[in-house]
Amino acid sequence: MNINWVYFSDTNAPPGEIQTYLDKQQFQLATTNEIDKLHSLVIGNHQTVLFLKAHTLFNVYELCQEISALYPHVYIILIVPDNLENLRKAMLMGASDTLRSSYELGELSEAISHAKKFMQHRAKMDRTSLNNIPKEKSRVIAVSSPKGGVGRTVVSVNLAVSFARMGKKVAIIDANLQFGEVAIYNNVKPKRSIYEWVKEGYGREHFSITQYMTNVEGNVAVLAAPPRPEFFEGITEKHIREAIEDAKKFYDIILIDMPVYLSKIHLHCLDLADEILLLTLNELSSLRLAQLYLETLESINLKGKVKLVLNRFVKGQALELKRIEEILAKEVYHILPEHVNIVASSIKAGQPFILSNSRSNIGKSVLNLSEKLVPKEDGAAEVKKRKKWFKVGK
């Protein structure tokens, strides 16, 4: 793979360490201070990385926005004065990464490494044809809780595998945009995330959301959270809405792993969801927060979507089921039993327990939950029986 490395400075400042670093790796760097020549260097080449340094003749952010609009394929590394560094603004203007003018060698090395990995992944995606057939019907399920540590991500990743076992095409969107753990719970390090999709794919018809998904074990696709917490600032409710709507074209089930807080972005997630799984524990602090959460959703007419899931339930401990339903004024939709060892081992290994312990009580309970949410079709079950009979008869 040949990457087209380009450096532009409106003051004709030399590339310095950028040139030296790329020379050591035997990469050629084209340099220019002329805007017309810059266009000729980037047009038509889908493997272009551009170092953009401008603050005299051009506003660096405005120039970045112009180049990004004209050439969305270009990976732009914006070099800005230390006092002007603004990651959110850079991303909104189309930059893929930023470097301070006083960057250190380690920062430069990291930026170039990220660019190389991104280009390698893009080249692989370009060689792979999209075999996705748009879906006419899909279900969006938000997994939520206002309290941390109740098992939202565990339930999300295991439900996803359960749905996939039912023959559904499944995606998880990690909506915890600062500290999402869906990828970690599946033991993968995504090369692309929602951050890259917002920078490159959003609003451009030739960039499908599927190109930014990471396939994980269990036949599930994950739209991962941004690689760094500060990158979430450039993601808006418009982006998350479009991501969900685009995913609905290709997946039967879209699970949204929600954070504990509610922002405009996350209210949009709940609004677009067909069901909201509200997880709670059989303890007063968790129940009180769940009650407040339900009241909040009722105020915006979303309470009717809620299905209450009682997680880590141990019969005979704490409050009785009837009392919990009285407190929350909501019927418990499903109960997931406590199984500390299996869940802890699953998290440590980065593998959903549906793959390794599907016959355990917790595994069976998650499978039952998936079937309650999306009942098996009688026709599909009948076809499966016929196939089995035909094979035996043969």
CATH number at residue 45: 3.40.50.2300
302 in the same domain as 169: yes
The 8 Å CB, 24+ separation contacts for 321-329 are 324/282, 324/287, 327/287, 327/291, 328/280, 328/287, 328/290, 328/291, 328/294, 329/294
Q: Does residue 41 fall inside a structural domain?
A: yes
265 in the same domain as 164: yes
280 in the same domain as 194: yes
260 in the same domain as 180: yes
325 in the same domain as 345: yes
Question: Hey, what are 390's tokens?
Answer: 């035909």
Render pLDDT for 223-254 as a digit per residue (tens, 0 to 9): 999 988 888 888 888 999 999 999 999 999 99
Q: Which domain holds residue 97?
A: 4-127
Q: Does residue 268 fall inside a structural domain?
A: yes
162 in the same domain as 86: no
Q: Does residue 134 fall inside a structural domain?
A: no
198 in the same domain as 102: no
What is the per-residue pLDDT for 274?
95
pLDDT band at 206; cut points 50, 70, 90: low
pLDDT band at 124; cut points 50, 70, 90: low
pLDDT at 28 over 70: yes
Of 84, 102, 127, which closes a domain?
127
316 in the same domain as 240: yes
Alpha-carbon distance 69 to 103, whole Å? 27
3-class SS at 338?
coil
pLDDT at 45 over 60: yes
Question: Which pTM does this prediction carry?
Answer: 0.69
pLDDT at 84 over 80: no
Strand ordering across the sheet containing 48-53: 29-32, 4-9, 48-53, 75-80, 97-100
Sign of the alpha-carbon dihedral angle for 352, 354, 358, 360: positive
**CATH number assigned to the domain comprising residue 217:** 3.40.50.300
175 in the same domain as 109: no
What is the per-residue pLDDT for 61?
83
Q: Rank 1-5, 65-69, 187-191, 364-368 by mean pLDDT and report only the highest.
A: 364-368
What residues are paired with 393 via a beta bridge?
A: none
Render pLDDT for 333-390 as a digit per residue (tens, 0 to 9): 999 999 889 999 999 999 999 998 888 999 999 999 999 999 876 334 433 443 443 3
Q: In terms of pLDDT, which residue wins out, 371 or 43?
A: 371
363 in the same domain as 266: yes
Render pLDDT for 282-333 as a digit per residue (tens, 0 to 9): 999 999 999 999 999 999 999 999 999 999 998 888 899 999 999 999 999 9
Please state the domain count of the chain: 2
165 in the same domain as 121: no
Mean pLDDT, residues 64-82 taken together: 83
What is the per-residue pLDDT for 129?
40
121 in the same domain as 16: yes
